[in-house]
Amino acid sequence: MLTPFKKIWELVCRIWSSANRPAKHLSIGFLTIGGFVAGVMFWGGFNTALEYTNTEEFCVSCHEMGDNVFVELKPTIHYSNRSGVRATCPDCHVPHNWTDKISRKMQASKEVWGKLFGTINTREKFQAERRRLAGHEWDRLKANNSLECRNCHSTESMDITVQSTRAAEAHQAFLFTGEKTCIDCHKGIAHELPDMTGVEGWE
Amino acid sequence: MKRFLVHITTAVGLLALASTTALSDGAATLRQGEPIASEAEAPKMNKVENNDVKRVRNYPEQPPTIPHQTRDYEISLNANKCLSCHARTRTGESQAPMVSVTHYMDRDNQVLATVSPRRYFCNQCHVTQVTAPPLVENEFIDVEHIIKGE
């Protein structure tokens, strides 16, 4: 019964002892410089690949995104507006801070699973899952105090005197006091909404 | 043969006359007289009024106009953005005017708990206003003026 564990343990011991031994043939200069160069190349490659997965082009290369949420984004103000400044998918859906970004990317491995097994590969399937998927994003933005909104929309730079009266009043009463965060009121600003029955603030 | 030719020439002549008069009297066409091969310049889009100031209703039953922008406000089977401010239960927080009580009744005036399905599509009656000059003169007279004999 114990033999497979014993074998694995012996293998671990062998790897450790060879890794723990000083190099027999390679110079220390080669190992340090080579290690540095290899590190730069590995890190550069890793980061380039990571950043590639952080582009709109990558997101919409799957028809699930391209045919559903991206089409819905296009007529909204976050895609088409007077000044031409626009948000791409990762601007709102991926944290900009590195550690948060990596943890989100690890969560996204589940999305790869969904892609492989076609969880939302038709419009009907997507609509059926929409409430749950939107809920994930609302929860995430609620938990980080709408960080991805605030990466562009800062309360310090928000001049409420040029806002409409009702927007200014709402922001003063709820945003500046910290009573609510962006996503509490601004749901569905970039995509169509799921069935909002039972969602707080919706009838 | 001769009679036939006369007919043809008359027809062609009448057609030519008709087409010239149609163009010269400035008849409004969808193409605005633009030749078929070219594309007319689109009229300028007007700004949507966004001043949150109520407009006077021209008659008591007129659905009030919307004094703010409603771009991307979704009204669908899934969601109604208007109701997230104007529904009875939301007016405390939003301080928006409540949807009229008539909207909480069915067609037999039976009171309902929520907005009646036949009143659900707000922008079927309530519309935003734009800063466009009127296309034609408005000869509407408020009943108030008629009563006073003005």
pLDDT at B150: 75
Q: Is residue A20 part of a domain?
A: no
Query: CA-to-CA distance for A172 and B14, rounded, in angstroms?
Result: 71
Nearest to A192 among B74, B90, B96 (CB): B74
Shortest Cα distance from B78 to chain A (angstroms)?
Answer: 4
Burial class (CB in 10 A: 0-12, 13-18, 19+), B122: buried
**pLDDT score for A1:** 56
pLDDT confidence tier of residue B45, bands split at 50, 70 and 90: confident
Are B72 and A77 within 8 A, CB to CB?
yes
- Please tell me if residue B80 touches chain A, with a CB cutoff of 8 Å: yes
Instruction: Give yes or no for B128 touching A (CB within 8 A).
Output: no
Overall average pLDDT of the A1-5 stretch: 74
- Chain B residues lying within 8 Å of A194, measured CB to CB: 78-79
CB contact under 8 A, B78 and A194: yes
Residues of A in contact with B72 (CB under 8 A): 75-77, 189
Please indicate, yes or no, if residue A15 is contained in any of the structural domains.
no
Q: Please state the domain count of chain A.
A: 1
Residue B9 has a pLDDT of: 61
Q: Which residues of chain A lie closer than 8 angstroms to B84, CB-CB? A: 201-203
Q: Compute the CA torsion angle B59, B60, B63, B69 (nearest 10 deg).
A: 80
Q: How far is A59 from chain B (nearest CA, A)?
A: 23
Asked, for residue A17, whether it belongs to a domain, the answer is no
In a domain, A26, yes or no: no
- Looking at the complex, report in whole angstroms how far the Cα of residue B66 sits from the nearest Cα belonging to chain A: 13
pLDDT in tens, B4-28: 555 666 665 555 555 554 454 566 6
pLDDT digits (tens, 9 = 90+) for B88-113: 999 999 999 999 999 999 999 999 99
A150, pLDDT greater than 90? yes
Q: Establish if B115 touches chain A: CB-CB under 8 angstroms.
A: yes
Higher pLDDT, B29 or A42: A42
Question: Is this complex's ipTM strictly greater than 0.90?
Answer: no
Range of the domain at A158: 61-191
**Mean pLDDT rounded to a whole number for chain B:** 85
Give a yes or no: residue A45 inside a domain.
Answer: no
- Using the Cβ of B126 and the Cβ atoms of chain A, whether some distance falls under 8 Å is answered with no
Q: What is the pLDDT of residue B39?
A: 86
Residues of A with CB under 8 A from a CB of B: 75-77, 164-166, 169-170, 188-189, 192-196, 201-203
Mean pLDDT of A123-144: 95
Helix orientation angle between A109-116 and A98-107, rounded to the nearest 10 degrees: 30
Kindly indicate the confidence band of residue A73, based on its pLDDT and cuts at 50, 70 and 90: very high
Q: A4 lies in a domain?
A: no
Residue A180 lies in a domain: yes
Long-range CB contacts for residues A97-101, cutoff 8 Å, separation at least 24: A100/A144, A101/A50, A101/A54
The confidence band for A26, taking pLDDT boundaries of 50, 70 and 90, is: confident
Contact check, Cβ <8 Å, A196/B71: no
pLDDT, mean of residues B15-42: 68
